[in-house]
Structure 1
Amino acid sequence: MAYESHQPSAIAGFSDRSLKAASKDGSQIFVWLRSLASLLIITSVSFLMADRELYTAFDDENNIAYFKADSAEIVQRISSLQDPKFLVFDEPLWDIYTAFTGILLGPEDAFRLTLFLSTFLFLYCSTILGGGNWIIITFLFLIHYGLATQMYYNQMRQGVALSVFLVLLVSLKILSNSSRKIFSSFIAIFIHTSFLVVFASALVSAMKPIIRIIVGILGISTLLLLFQTQDLFEFVNAGRREGLYEGTDSLNLNFYISKIPVYAAIFYLLLPRKNDLDNSEFYHFTLILTIISISLTLVHSAGARLINNSEAMMCILVARNIKFRAGQVAFGIFVFSIVVTNIFVDRQATVASQESIITRWQLILFSEPYY
């Protein structure tokens, strides 16, 4: 069963089924116009994200540097694939992709193309997984601090990995839902290691409920014990992350007080109906990913990046259920939570720090903050 099968159309009428149905009642033109409008908006947003002034985000210089590899460096990167630690923890697919596209297009053009494609694929595939609700997906993408102004602005590798994960999730219909999540997250690991957690969540969500609970408790307990004796974030440091998380503010009590009740309310409201296997699988996958991500934030501030992945899945989950009353309430709670988070971040940030979502949007739109 495909993820989008619980809705009549994939993206505002893109599916053959919806077009055939539309032709019977004479509304085919309207369906095509809706499809065209959604594509135009998604493409425009993607172009907006890619056409911004470069070197305005903190990580632009580092990200563009990946696209500047010469032939000798490419050979070195490929030869490094023989090292298991490099293969798993240092994102070899990202290295190889950036090296070749940088040579073909030039560093800055390759960087812009990657921004465009990753944004477009996130919006398009999330819309398909979200039951065709492209307005909801686009709206959440634009206002969510971890999406448009983070993973698709500053933390580019994580955004690319998320987009690849979603593309595979939508495309590999030959596999079952569970197998698709496992395979897609496994491939995304080689672009950004945060998807190790997504991969683990996909494995756990594929298990039977009682096994799920046992494995989840044992897994989280094991991770907490390991963190008491060894810094696993230091272990996965294969060079590029050296000093990356130094000085990163630890998540404080405000985060847990504000987020956990919101997550609890959303998952309670979106609890899948009986016999809704399709929605149930995605629901439990998102729930498990969120629980694991929150658990890891307790032991290292770098775990905060994992929350971006789980909340991206929440965006899709909310969109899938927006036609229901409970889904609309969950949407309202989620938006309120995002707005409150944005206000809190903006109040704590300075213009120079570029942590403010307002500052980042000004940099995207106008190349400089107009404070």
Structure 2
Amino acid sequence: MTAPAPGNVHPIARAPDAPIAAPSLDPIMALVADGMDAVNVVILDKMQSRIPLIPELAGHLIAGGGKRLRPMLTLACADLVGYRGSSHYILAAAVEFIHTATLLHDDVVDGSGLRRGRKTANIIWGNSASVLVGDFLFSRSFELMVEAQSLKVLKILANASAVIAEGEVNQLTAQRNIDTSEAQYLDIIGAKTAALFAAACRISAVVADRDNAHEQALDTYGHNLGIAFQLIDDAIDYESDGATMGKDAGDDFRDGKVTLPVILAYARGSDEDRAFWKAAITGHRISDDDLAHATGLLRSTGAIADTLARARLYGQKAIDALAMFDDGAAKAALSEAVAFATARAY
């Protein structure tokens, strides 16, 4: 029997009698292990400063247990397109600095208390220090982009940085607005999350001098992976706990963030349910009991299940985008990374 083409089958979808193995990041981590050592050297070097607070605060988040998925994607995509240079190491570090800077700023804006199960930098050092160190890391990322000596790469990552900021502002304007549309929500997460995933992948094709079709394929892969990743995050904000998520459970609910699960539940709810959502999103119903009630409504309306299903659809789009590339360890690892991202809610 001929095996189905890897690009046409979602790695989570298996025959009913097939053994179930939990998707893992192990393949991509093994693939890029040596490269990540080189990236970490760049990160440690570029986060240094004559001002001791900068490496102390930056190091708190950078060393805080994150999987560094975005720089791993840069390295894995470089392997996929056959790149044999070293520019992808400094660019992967630049991607991680952009991501870390946005996290520092996000935690200030959201007033978050936990990140990856640890106190956030703004709780320990204050908002001002967190914002300024975030600015420092953004600056370092642009230094690294320049070192790569590619105006096209600089344009892609600079644009991604601007789009991320636009997405965060868009989210801020939508906060506590129960009438936020699904289209606006998708625009928000496409900017604040998916843009960096897409750029992190695309730049590998650029430094490898691959054609626009290969660039676009990696951009599409990263974008759809980023959307799927954020959809899962938004679902497990209601379905998981702080220990599992590494952040305070129900943060989105208490912050009045209108995510896809809420949009779906509000649209499907009774008049009484819709009145509850209006009160909750505007900050008038945010107790633990209210969170439990909200979670119950999300389940009874199928909002959580449908959000997870939507994430899997975007995950499939990401995998399909890899179809033009040769089969091998890199393609398999990138496909399983999608499976891992979309299975985090289970």
> What's the TM-score, normalizing by structure 1?
0.32
Higher relative contact order (CA 8 A, sep 6+): 2
> What's the TM-score, normalizing by structure 2?
0.33
